[in-house]
Structure 1
Amino acid sequence: MTNKNRRKSAGGGMGLPTLLLIIFVILKLTHVIDWSWLWVLSPLWIAASLGVLFFLVIGLILLGAVIGLTSGNSRVTVGIKSWFRKKDQEDNTDD
């Protein structure tokens, strides 16, 4: 088979949390394990919690960066203000 005939898959397949969830549900329904449903479904809520935690950390980092950029004595803010002052002075001398 040549490389032209191969199909590319966009999916990543089944992840570990999904696989564990399926195994735990099957074991619970066949009475092999006597766990509460909270722990049977734990791969689902643990993965979701980690995803939410990841986005919260990224959000806090971005919020800190925005606060740092908008503070009055930030180098970036001072540089932008001085650039605009230079542009205003050049525009005033052209008149």
Structure 2
Amino acid sequence: MVRTPLTPAERERGRRLGVLLRTARGGRSMAEVAAAAGISAETLRKIETGRAPTPAFFTVVALAAALGLSLDEVAGACAPAEEPAGAAGAAA
């Protein structure tokens, strides 16, 4: 099975997820957070650095729980930036 390449938007969403997780981890070690989430430290490292920009849903859920984040917080942090009001139809 061939996986289609990720779009720039998907890569950016993965970058934002990594920043959120790194920030929420604070002074805790990668090993500590990874163990609490039931994943390897290497998997967490890949997600935080953007090398794994599309982690499995249940991996994200486990990390959110381990870091005390709600899924709403995660989704909000990973959502694309919105265009300024009126920018989409300004050229019409």
Name the TM-score class by shorter chain: 0.3 to 0.5
Higher RCO (CA 8 Å, separation ≥ 6 residues): 2
Normalising by structure 1, report the TM-score.
0.32
More helix by proportion, 1 or 2? 1
Name the TM-score, length of structure 2 as normaliser: 0.32
- Which is greater in Rg? 1
